[in-house]
Amino acid sequence: MYFGYQDDYEVFVKGPQPRIISPAEETRYVGLTNQGATCYMNSLLQTLYHIPYFRKAVYKMPTNELTKSFGWNKHDSFMQSDVQEFNRGTVVEGTIQDLFEGHQMNYIDCINVDYKSTRKESFYDLQLDVKGCEDVYASFDKYVEVERLEGDNKYQADQQHGLQDAKKGVLFIDFPPVLQLQLKRYDYDFVQDTLVKINDRYEFPLQLDLDREDGKYLSPDADRSVRNLYTLHSVLVHSGVGNGGHYYAFIRPTLSEQWFKFNDGRVSKEDTRWAVEEQYGGEARHPNAYMLVYIRESDKDEIMCNVDEMDIAKHLRVRYKKEQKEREAEELKKKEEAEAARIKHLSEQFRRDIDFDLVDRNGDQVVHFRSLEKPKEDDFTLELSMALTYDDVMERIRLTSHDCVFLRPIPQAISYRGVGHLSEMFTRYNRSSKILYYEVLDIPLPELQCLRSLKVEFCHATKDDTVVYRIRLPQESTVGDVINDLKTKVELSHPDAELRLLEIFMHRIHEIFPLSEENEKINDPYRGDLTLRAEEILEEEKNLGPQDRLLPVSHFTKEPYSARRNFGEPYFLVIHEGETLDAVKLRIQKKLQVPDEEFAQWKFGIWSLIDRFEYLQDSDIVSSHLYKKAGGPWAQYLGLEHSSNSSPEAT
């Protein structure tokens, strides 16, 4: 394994050019920071916030910090909760009832005698079945479905009538102005003792008519003068499995045709198809709607009212203006410091240019400067005094010394205040060189050294374009921070795509970095045989069976004297239990688009940790040649032996 020593590295991203968003496209909506596992809360808060009537009431709450107002400590904010459970704990007296409270009538009606039992109940949200229902209307049909109480299940009426055949059911007395529908996306698996996610396709309309079929959902006591026609306001989505995952929301803040996706701190514009139809779910599609919020048309004007500054409590207005002034003062200070630094840099550069002509020639040295992008060509020369310090000469330029042994830049650039005088830059391993490599920086070197720059190849799931991005993150950042930053810059195949970060060494997948890995521990990919690569995790890789394996694949060719040389782009392939090599080959040929005649020349086998190769026959069960337990991507991989110029994927 190669270990790099440079403090910072760049990120190269393979993918299309990022879409530049013009100022006119920028939204005035902002996201909410995830405080550990509070995405469930963030999605619900965004939904409630964009109900203006509710927002007015919240502004009158005398609280300084939201999570503290719930009595939560720091530990509680990292405990993921259910949206419905959380919602029922956010009561703003009176407003919750006005907006969200509806009433239903539970009844039992005897068939053969004149006896009926009724009970009125209030609700703030409705739990609707997903399993076995194709859409919301089917769920409401099931909700009010009449149950027959007969045989051994007869209803015990009063003392006069005793056991009786009866009909049992629920009808609605009234619906609330804001209707919250909780979709029952989970079943309990008693065998596995765990919650199982129901990903069945389930449709929901932009307009929901609960007066359909002559008010079939309404009780005889319902006020039929109220028109129960609702418009979809927001769709809360859960992505993941039964015991974990991520929450976000699609919202129409003004009920216009424009939807927005609120995903923790990120807010993006979305069209109706992504916000609605793509959240219906379906086979093996984990992101799907978990909660729907509808607003009644007849109450829309009152609920979607204007909220102006005077609706905000005075203590909040005072606090906001104070924070705004502090931000403006801080921004002004940064601008002034940047301008002062620029003027200082220009004046010092001017002074140095004059000094070059006036210095004592006895202490001078002609230095050859080369760009790191063209390390074998002299770019320019300067006559510098060896008494000058690095910090005297450079502010927006970073220098790297020359390796006199390998005749290339050393791995580590010269750090700010890292050397005393320029003479120290030219001596390495008791050898002296008068070559320096330079980089023009866009931010001051002291500031740059507080950051970690990363270089990653991003592989789009369906495109081959390559784009280079430079990403800078704080030194304490993690791989998860890199992934999140990349998601804001690259084009994904779909909005909920998940990424992973790999280390590729000598054209082989060497490591999959966990999201918690600190960036400072990742090797610096300054050498040509070591790269970092980010790629989308395919759906089939997320649903592996207990005996399935995710196996790295690498191209190689035999060199003279039996030497092996890897080449091309390695990738992962799912190996299913009991799958023969012949079946695996069909999938590989389809993925790489290799012609039949050419593919027939390829050979396949398993490389092991000790660099031993075992050829496979078409009838061999691939999984039977693998270790029982996966030992990381470097332990075993599938080798594709063929000519290095025989495949477009192998270049």
Q: What pLDDT does 19 receive?
A: 36
Host H or E run for residue 317: helix 314-358
Reported as a single tens digit per residue, the pLDDT across 362-390 is: 556 777 777 777 788 877 777 766 666 66
Residues forming a β-bridge with 208: 230
> What's the whole-number average pLDDT of the chain?
79
Q: What pLDDT does 337 receive?
A: 82
- Of residues 535, 496, 552, 578, the one with CA closest to residue 270: 496
Specify the length of the chain in residues. 651
Tokens of 67: 């999570």
Show Cβ contacts of residue 573 under 8 Å, excluding neighbours closer than 6 positions: 550, 551, 552, 553, 584, 587, 588, 591, 638
Reported as a single tens digit per residue, the pLDDT across 597-637 is: 999 999 999 988 666 888 999 999 998 888 777 767 667 88
Domain boundaries along the sequence of the chain: 96-303, 359-447, 450-541, 544-650
Tokens of 192: 């596995």
Show Cβ contacts of residue 418 under 8 Å, excluding neighbours closer than 6 positions: 390
**23 phi, psi to nearest 5 deg:** -55, -30
Contact 400, 437 (CB under 8 A): yes
> Distance between CA atoms of 489 and 21, rounded to whole angstroms?
11
Catalytic residues: 39, 246
Confidence bin at 24 (pLDDT 50/70/90): very low
DSSP state letters, 33-52: ---SS-HHHHHHHHHHHTSH
Reported as a single tens digit per residue, the pLDDT across 440-477 is: 777 777 777 778 877 888 877 776 666 777 788 888 88
> Distance between CA atoms of 163 and 291, rounded to whole angstroms?
40
DSSP 3-state of 83: helix
Show Cβ contacts of residue 531 under 8 Å, excluding neighbours closer than 6 positions: 12, 455, 457, 503, 504, 525
Buried b (16+ CB within 10 A) or exposed e, 126-154: bebebeebeebbbbbeebeeeeebeeeee
Q: Of residues 251 and 645, which shows the higher confidence score? A: 251
In this predicted structure, the answer to whether residue 2 has a pLDDT above a threshold of 90 is no
Cα separation values, 374 from 327, 371, 396, 407, Å? 43, 5, 19, 13
For 96-303, CATH gives 3.90.70.10
Reported as a single tens digit per residue, the pLDDT across 40-69 is: 788 888 888 899 888 887 776 655 575 554
Confidence bin at 546 (pLDDT 50/70/90): confident
Report domain 450-541's class: alpha beta
> Distance between CA atoms of 168 and 154, rounded to whole angstroms?
11
> Distance between CA atoms of 121 and 220, rounded to whole angstroms?
15
Q: Give first-to-last CA distance, the chain, whole Å.
A: 24
Comparing 359-447 with 450-541, is the CATH topology the same?
yes
Q: CB atoms < 10 A from the CB of 388, how many?
A: 16
For 544-650, CATH gives 3.10.20.90
Contact 261, 495 (CB under 8 A): yes
Contact 501, 508 (CB under 8 A): no
- Can you count the helices (H) and strands (E) in the chain? 16, 36
> Distance between CA atoms of 278 and 267, rounded to whole angstroms?
18
Q: Of residues 100 and 320, which shows the higher confidence score? A: 100
DSSP state letters, 359-389: S-GGGEEEEEEEETTSTTS--EEEEEETTS-
From the CA atom positions of the chain, what is the Rg in Å?
Answer: 33
In this predicted structure, the answer to whether residue 126 has a pLDDT above a threshold of 90 is yes
- Region 295-299: mean pLDDT is 96
Tokens of 79: 């405990």
Q: What pLDDT does 491 receive?
A: 83
DSSP 3-state of 458: strand
Instruction: Check if CATH label 2.30.110.10 holds for domain 359-447.
Output: no
- Region 146-172: mean pLDDT is 93
- Region 317-340: mean pLDDT is 84
Confidence bin at 204 (pLDDT 50/70/90): very high
Per-range mean pLDDT, top range of 313-322, 409-418, 516-525:
313-322
In this predicted structure, the answer to whether residue 645 has a pLDDT above a threshold of 50 is yes
**643 phi, psi to nearest 5 deg:** -65, 145
Contact 209, 3 (CB under 8 A): no
> Distance between CA atoms of 247 and 264, rounded to whole angstroms?
9
Q: What pLDDT does 303 receive?
A: 92
Q: What pLDDT does 363 receive?
A: 57
